Structure 1
Amino acid sequence: MGKLKTRAAIWIILAAALLVGCAQPATGSDDLAAHPIRVVATTGMVGDLVRNVGGERVEVVTLMGPGVDPHLYKASADDVVQLQRADIIFYNGLHLEAAMSEVFERMQSRSRTVAVTGGIPREALLPSDEYDNQFDPHVWFDVMLWRQTVEYVRDVLIDLDPSHASIYRTNAESYGRQLDELHAYVQSRAALIPEDQRVLVTAHDAFRYFGRAYGFEVHGLQGISTVVEAGAADVQQLADFIATRRIPAIFVETSVPQRTLAAVQSAVRARGFEVRIGGELFSDALGDPGTPEGEYIGMVRHNIDTIVTSLRGEG
């Protein structure tokens, strides 16, 4: 019954969007050279990526702001109108925006929809521990893996707007160099922690790519998706691990309720060990616009600095 209600709501929203579209049709690709490309991006990471590659040639609307969990996000009527008006829609893919998949399918007939992870070879992806034949969508935590989306977005924009190809190539090359520097920075910071102390415990299992790339053992209270909440057994199991390994700090996330790790902290205390909250990490959403963490590079730098400071006991 719940699925039927959800589908009915989606159809109502789509119908409303199509009515708006009759009055304001999307501009055809032949006209794109004459005006900035109207882009709708789902997450902050995707929006920031497209802005860096598209530069002055794109106007980007991002649907999911700071603190928003994309695993649970459902499109509003206003979102669908924005999607319908877009020249192109960029989203993460790999089922990160699972609740919006049906909307994307319906939008394909009106606007081009592109999953930025489509440019990453499948052999480079980590399989999902929760769902068969699916992958972990949190690829942005491996900077070099995320760098591959730069070239992919560049090529998509060139295909859409070939008369400005040189702009997209120049921007992509410049941003790629910045990501190379970011990757080196994360490596240098991670190296400050002895290998046997590189244990990252977070609210949900979003950091597996980070762990693989930078040599961290990663544990999340919830799984890859936050759709299924952690139970009492999950809390007790993680508390046992923390107390046994004497992990000094665990980390909350901006897009996941803090009560989940507060329960773990209490359970660890009951075992005679005190683990502190090491700080707040950005996982599935960027920070506030206008702050360093409101952009991908600033978010990654904040995360590694917070992790290193806390695990080294410097905070």
Structure 2
Amino acid sequence: MIHKFLRSLLISTLCLTLLVGCNPSRSQSESKKIQVTTTTGMIADIVKNVGGTHTEVSALMGTGVDPHLYKASQGDIRKLDQSDLIFYNGLHLEGKMTDVLSKIGKNKPVTAISDKIDRSKLLEIGNNLHDPHIWFDVQLWMSATEVVRDTLIKQDPSHKAEYEKQATDYLAKLKQLDEDVKKQVNSVPKEQRVLVTAHDAFNYFGKAYGIEVVGLQGISTAAEYGLKDVQNMVDLISKRKIKAVFVESSVPKKSIEAVVEGAKQKGHEVKIGGELYSDAMGQAGTPEGTYIGMVQANVTKIVSSLK
């Protein structure tokens, strides 16, 4: 009888041990990372800084990818479906992906980081549309950071204090970056502050930091440029004796190279001042593969070439 009782007790204890082992504890459940997918690398960088160890982040669009022309692959759709949170830029930056994001947003949180930005601070481009390149004004990017912070807190309130602290730390770095950019740009004589690029991605940068910006193409790289556009740019550069023009990492170089050659034929030597990061950051693992490093690299090239 005693043997039967001991045997029964042993079996009950073993079953209880297995049951506990097979069911994750509350702390294990809470430690599960939030799966976040973003469209661009710049947005992913915000999430990494604010979300820290509580998020697993991936960006659909990597180095040198043009978001205006990007088409979502089946792999992208699967990744979006498997995500807990999705962040995108909005303001029609993602172009052909907008419909996909809208459909997925019916079943899970899909947030445009530009939605909470004061519309009076956005640049209008006609037909009730706004320039989407908000990351070139660091202060606007600070507003986007606050959107990411608030969305993460709503999704995961148990880590609110950490998200708030990490956001505060990152916002302090962005504030310092904004001040550094102003200081560097102000070192260039006012009459020399003309930034010529392949497409109109830098208008927020120009407005925020006092640089005249001229793009060969429109706001979107989907816009076509023609011989007349090249000729007008050549005339402008030659007349104003502009020293440098810039290519972009996510846009083919042939348009700007045509401008340089055209100016040369008119007797004005203009150099390519370097490659700027416009719609995508640099390689992962490099300083330019972060938002702050990307902005610093751009400003260094612009300032050194225009001085």
User: CA-to-partner distance for each residue in 1:8-61, whole Å, 9 max, x for gaps?
Assistant: xxxxxxxxxxxxxxxxxxxxxxx9844110000000101101111111111001
For residue 90 of structure 2, the aligned residue among 93, 103, 108 is: 93
Pair 1:62 & 2:59 matched:
yes
Would the aligned equivalents of 1:32 and 1:161 in 2 still touch at CA under 8 Å? no
1:246 aligned partner, one-letter code:
K
Structure 1: runs of 5 or more not aligned: 1-30
TM-score, length of structure 1 as denominator length: 0.87
| Whole-angstrom distance in 2 between the partners of 1:121 and 1:53 | 22
| Whole-angstrom distance in 2 between the partners of 1:173 and 1:33 | 23
SS at match of 2:114: helix
SS at match of 1:118: coil
Alignment of 1:1-315 (within 5 A): 33-128=30-125, 131-312=126-307
| Whole-angstrom distance in 2 between the partners of 1:184 and 1:33 | 39
| Whole-angstrom distance in 1 between the partners of 2:245 and 2:108 | 42
Q: RMSD of aligned C-alpha atoms?
A: 1.1
SS at match of 2:57: strand
| Whole-angstrom distance in 2 between the partners of 1:83 and 1:109 | 13
2:120 aligned partner, one-letter code:
E
Offset at residue 112 of structure 1 (A): 1.1
Report the CA distance shift for 1:235/1:32 in structure 2 as closer, same or farther (over 3 A).
farther
Larger deviation: 34-43 or 279-288? 34-43
| Whole-angstrom distance in 2 between the partners of 1:100 and 1:145 | 23
Would the aligned equivalents of 1:203 and 1:261 in 2 still touch at CA under 8 Å? yes
Offset at residue 106 of structure 1 (A): 1.4
Report the CA distance shift for 1:183/1:32 in structure 2 as closer, same or farther (over 3 A).
farther
Would the aligned equivalents of 1:33 and 1:164 in 2 still touch at CA under 8 Å? no
| Whole-angstrom distance in 1 between the partners of 2:100 and 2:156 | 25
What percent identity do the matched residue pairs reach? 51
User: CA-to-partner distance for each residue in 1:256-314, whole Å, 9 max, x for gaps?
Assistant: 000010111111112110110000100000000000000000000000000011111xx
| Whole-angstrom distance in 2 between the partners of 1:295 and 1:66 | 11
1:138 aligned partner, one-letter code:
H
User: CA-to-partner distance for each residue in 1:143-171, whole Å, 9 max, x for gaps?
Assistant: 11111111111111111111110011000
| Whole-angstrom distance in 2 between the partners of 1:198 and 1:106 | 44
Structure 2: runs of 5 or more not aligned: 1-27
Offset at residue 118 of structure 1 (A): 1.2
2:245 aligned partner, one-letter code:
I
Between Structure 1 and Structure 2, how many residues are aligned?
Answer: 280
User: CA-to-partner distance for each residue in 1:77-106, whole Å, 9 max, x for gaps?
Assistant: 000000000001000100000110111111
Offset at residue 119 of structure 1 (A): 2.0
